[in-house]
Structure 1
Amino acid sequence: MSFPPYRNHLQSSDDLVTSYEATRAGFVALALEKNRRSTPYVAEARALQEAASRAKTPADLLTIKGIEAGLLTAAGLSDKALVHLQPEDKAEAINGLIKNFLEPAGEKFVEELVFRFLLTRGDALGGSMRNIGGVLAQRKLTRAIISTLVIAGISYRWQHSKTKQWVDMTDDDSEIELSLRGLSWENKGEPRTLMYNLTVPLVKNNVDMCVFNLNPDDLQDQDKGYTSAASYIALGELKGGIDPAGADEHWKTARAALDRIREAFSKAQHSPHIFFIGAAIEKKMAVEIWDQLEKGLLTNAANLNDPNQIASVSRWLCTL
């Protein structure tokens, strides 16, 4: 009987439980990321304040060129909303801002303008932060996988999340995890491609991570790409939320997703490796995950906050 891969870094369910120190560090990481993402908004607010300070009265703001977008944001309109508005709608929104909020503020109308601008930008920031745990988790795991490939002397290519272009590795790979959606390499001469956040046709749902026995070009092939069960080597769920209060809910969501994956591939008579990686893992949840590992329902699992566990899982993924 072959040695199960999870035994390389797990001896019991206790090893999966997230420590208090890891939870605290996770919340700090979220706070730092929120500050990083808010920096452009603060700079925009300062630019708006400087330009608007030239106005003697709120009505004078209409004569200052180059601040219309800032006025619309202060009026409470998001970038998405602006796409659907006509010029007259925008003018009405700005006039409403001036009449209802800036004029009543008196001499403090510029401060009022900036405060309202930041309120709208803050709402946008809050929306982008809702899945920040997942984003940070993907970055951390990606960096571990890239490190595993580099120290093994294995070349890789990576897909840019926005351009969808595949790029060859370079000597300087710093921060590519910030804009990476896929990785491709070879294991013993065989192509391997990892894709994040992919809607798998067989499952009819999004799957956090998929590893294929194909190169990126072949993934688009109608006969052997995303639609072929045999193309999949491993599928996994990655849950980066660090709040212990949401741990059970994250696991329930992941467990249901993993069950759908197993069922769909079972019908297709194929059994890819199934794995789970989580940041917030409580005791009861850890026991359930360990039970699935022991029963073979899960091939591998790890706590995202444990560097040794993530290094072990990364080596496993790179050698599949």
Structure 2
Amino acid sequence: MSSHRNHLQSSNDLVTTYEATRAGFVALALEKNRRATPYVAEARALKEAASQAASPADLLNAKGIEMGLFTAAGLSDKSLAHLKTEDKIEAINGLIKNFLEPAGTNFVEELVFRFLLTRGDTLGGSMRNVGGALAQRKLTRAILSTLMIAGKRYHWQHSKTKKWIAMTNDDTEIELSLRGINWESDFGNRTLIYNLTVPLVKSNVDLCLFNLAPTELAANQSNAIDPSAVAPYVIALGELKGGIDPAGADEHWKTAQAALNRIREAFSRVGYTPFTFFVGSAIAKRMAGEIWNQLENGTLSNAANLNEENQVASISRWLCNL
């Protein structure tokens, strides 16, 4: 029986329900609030410190609020790296003259409001990728759970330090900072890496499963003069789309399908056929039909709707047993 048949009986099983869409939007709202918490705390600290100033002009001499003033003046963290000191001071003077002084005795509130406006832009930028981050966490937790109940020990790679860390008895929330997982399967060493540029494909792939240890994978990536040298070690490549908005569902699938086609063509040219799979949050009826047809004719090896727990668990078992 085909692997997808373990959790899918028809294309209808892939379609995202109204309840799942609603829950997805709620999850995004909660994540937005979680990410906003530091900014709100910063605004409170700025308000308390700025309250010591008797007038807007006094803010220039206040200690320890320089970054808060820069932000309120509309300067992003990125822009600060490209500006000279005199440019930054000019921006603060503009803030004081044009906005804080006209606010009169309410200048501190005006300062805090403008600080939060700029921070809101920063938050908006980080939220554009939040669907993908939440999707990665959910799939990661399912894979880790699959390994745990199978009694398989694993190592995981920290996304910032890139160090590989041995599993411990308490792996709470490691999915927040995990980039890769390594374990020993019945068929050999397995390393799963998120968001990796595969040399043969020449583009970023959301999920890459290799028949290599992490040290061997690093060697193959850096030392292989011919990109096709890594091809024999690639087991499966997949696309993960975490956006929940139904309006963007078709676009997500088009992007994923184009990426999967590039993968198949690139590997076909060197005589290899890795498994390809798709996991998505927003799956509309028509695209569900397309995915199902590709599963049935063997173009696509596996697929799952990220909102359906049994499907996520099933595709995680499939990945761990390849």
- Check the 8 A contact 2:46/2:65 in 1, yes or no: yes
Map 1:250-269 onto structure 2 (within 5 A): 250-269=252-271
- SS of alignment partner, residue 277 of structure 1: strand
Residue 231 of structure 1 deviates from its aligned partner by 1.3
CA distance in 1: counterparts of 2:266 and 2:227, whole angstroms: 16
Question: C-alpha displacement at 1:180, in angstroms?
Answer: 0.3
Residue type at the aligned position of 1:102? L
> Which runs of structure 2 are paired with 1:196-215 in the superposition (5 Å)?
196-215=194-213
Amino acid at match of 1:66: G
* Cα deviation, residue 227, structure 1: 5.2
Conserved 8 A contact 1:148-1:311: yes
Deviation at 1:226, TM superposition (A): 8.7
Kept after mapping to 1: 8 A contact 2:73/2:114: yes
Q: Deviations over 1:28-62 (max 9, x none)?
A: 00000000000000000000000000111100001
Deviation for aligned residue 1:225: 8.8
Partner deviation per Cα, 1:106-139 (whole Å, 9 max, x = no partner)? 1111011000000000000000000110000000
Shift of 1:281: 0.4
1:309 to partner: Cα distance: 0.3
User: Counterpart of 2:302?
Assistant: 300
User: Equivalent residue for 2:127?
Assistant: 129
Instruction: Assess if the C-alpha contact under 8 Å between 2:47 and 2:112 holds in 1.
Output: yes
Separation in structure 2 between the aligned mates of residue 288 and residue 64 of structure 1, nearest angstrom: 62
Report if the CA contact (8 A) 1:218-1:225 is conserved: no
Q: What code does the residue aligned with 1:253 have?
A: T
1:188 to partner: Cα distance: 1.6
Aligned length: 318
Q: Runs of 5+ in structure 1 lacking a partner?
A: none
The equivalent position to 1:314 in structure 2, one of 307, 316, 322, is: 316
For 2:245, the equivalent position in structure 1 comes to: 243
Q: Which residue does the alignment assign to 1:20?
A: 18
| Equivalent residue number for residue 36 of structure 2 | 38
Partner of 2:145 in structure 1?
147
Secondary structure of 2:290's aligned partner: helix
SS in 2 for 1:65: coil
Q: Deviations over 1:277-319 (max 9, x none)?
A: 0000010000000000011010000000000000000000000
Mapped contact 1:225–1:231 kept (Cα < 8 A): no
The amino acid that maps onto 1:268 is V
Aligned twin of 2:284: 282
* Native 8 Å contact 1:200 1:226 kept in 2: no
Residue in 2 that maps onto 1:82: 80
Taking the aligned partners of 2:152 and 2:22, their CA distance within structure 1 comes to 35
Alignment partner, residue 100 of structure 1: 98
- What percent of counterpart residues are identical? 74
Q: Verify the 8 A CA contact 1:13 1:286 in the aligned structure 2.
A: yes
Contact 1:279 1:305 in 2 (8 A): yes
Output the CA distance in 1 between the equivalents of 2:48 and 2:61. Answer: 15
Name which of 155, 158, 166 aligns with 2:156: 158
